[in-house]
């Protein structure tokens, strides 16, 4: 998990820090990013607002750290089953499952919706969330190309965008289910376009 270097001062109380992060996570689920306030976080965490302002440069910085602190919400270590198809299915299945949960999908949808309005949040998200997911999927596809499963001239970056794009289209626009069946179908559809077997 990438580190977020947005704190203003040294933490004096790990207990208070944990309480603030937990309160932020809970309020993100309950209210969403736009309705979350430093005052509400401070009240729930049982700390003064000054404590939060001393440790984080902005509300966006606090929210991003709280999101990154969530268990297994940012990226999955690239699996290596020996089959690129199975590995891609596993990664897309994991992402779909994470986003199908209220603590995943609702929070991410709210954050994504606010990226265009909050440049600090957008920059942090693009530095700490997007690369982790892209690199993990690229690693799986590159390993498949080394094994001869993926065509040498396949555009792997485009394949990654297509895989993730289908998931986020369902999350943000269509509202259709993010389930295991969908994850398997989208993985197979994309891989059929880049695997050597599909053009033989």
Parts of the chain belonging to CATH 1.10.357.10 = 84-199
- pLDDT value for 78: 80
What is the CA 4 to chain-centroid distance, rounded? 14
* Per-residue pLDDT tens over the stretch 37-93: 999 999 999 999 999 999 988 888 888 888 888 755 556 678 889 899 999 999 999
Residue 197 has pLDDT above 80, yes or no: no
Whole-number Cα distances in Å, 21 to 1, 47, 133: 16, 12, 22
Q: Where are the alpha helices (DSSP H) in 2-71?
A: 14-31, 38-45, 49-55, 59-68
* Per-residue pLDDT tens over the stretch 14-28: 899 999 999 998 898
Write out the two tokens for 44.
């729930």
Q: Please, which contacts does 156-163 make with residues 24 or more away whose CB atoms are closer than 8 Å? A: 156/194, 159/190, 159/191, 159/193, 159/194, 160/134, 162/190, 163/88, 163/92, 163/137, 163/187, 163/190
- pLDDT value for 158: 96
Coil/strand/helix, residue 78:
coil
Residue with tokens 């891609």: 88
* Top CATH class, 14-68: mainly alpha
Write out the two tokens for 16.
């208070």
Backbone angles phi, psi at 24, to 5 degrees: -65, -45
DSSP state of 173: I
CATH, domain 84-199, list 1.10.357.10, 3.40.50.2300, 1.10.1050.10, 1.10.10.60: 1.10.357.10
Residue 199 has pLDDT above 50, yes or no: no
- Averaged pLDDT, 167-195: 91
- pLDDT value for 75: 63
Residue with tokens 């270097």: 5
More confidently predicted of 27 and 29: 27
Parts of the chain belonging to CATH 1.10.10.60 = 14-68
**pLDDT winner (highest mean) among 5-14, 112-121, 183-192:** 183-192
Backbone angles phi, psi at 108, to 5 degrees: -65, -45
d(CA 148, CA 141): 11
Q: How confident is the model at residue 144 (pLDDT cuts 50, 70, 90)?
A: very high
Query: Quick one: which H or E segment has residue 135?
Result: helix 130-146
As a whole number, the mean pLDDT across the chain is: 84
């Amino acid at each position: 998990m990438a580190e977020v270097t947005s704190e203003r001062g040294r933490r004096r109380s790990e207990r208070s820090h944990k309480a603030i992060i937990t309160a932020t996570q809970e309020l993100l689920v309950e209210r969403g990013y736009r309705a979350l306030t430093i005052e509400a976080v401070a009240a729930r965490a049982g700390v003064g607002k000054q404590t939060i302002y001393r440790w984080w440069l902005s509300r966006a910085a606090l929210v991003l750290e709280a999101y990154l602190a969530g268990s297994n919400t940012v990226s999955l270590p690239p699996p290596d089953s020996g089959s690129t198809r199975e590995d891609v299915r596993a990664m897309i299945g994991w992402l779909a499952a994470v986003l199908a949960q209220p603590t995943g999908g609702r929070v991410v949808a709210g954050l994504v919706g606010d990226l265009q309005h909050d440049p600090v949040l957008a920059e942090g998200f693009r530095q700490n969330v997007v690369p982790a997911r892209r690199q993990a999927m690229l690693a799986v596809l590159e390993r498949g190309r080394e094994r001869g499963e993926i065509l040498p001239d396949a555009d792997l970056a485009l394949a990654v965008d297509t895989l993730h794009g289908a998931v986020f289209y369902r999350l943000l626009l269509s509202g259709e289910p993010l389930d295991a069946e969908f994850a398997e179908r989208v993985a197979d559809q994309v891989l059929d376009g880049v695997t050597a077997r599909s053009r033989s």
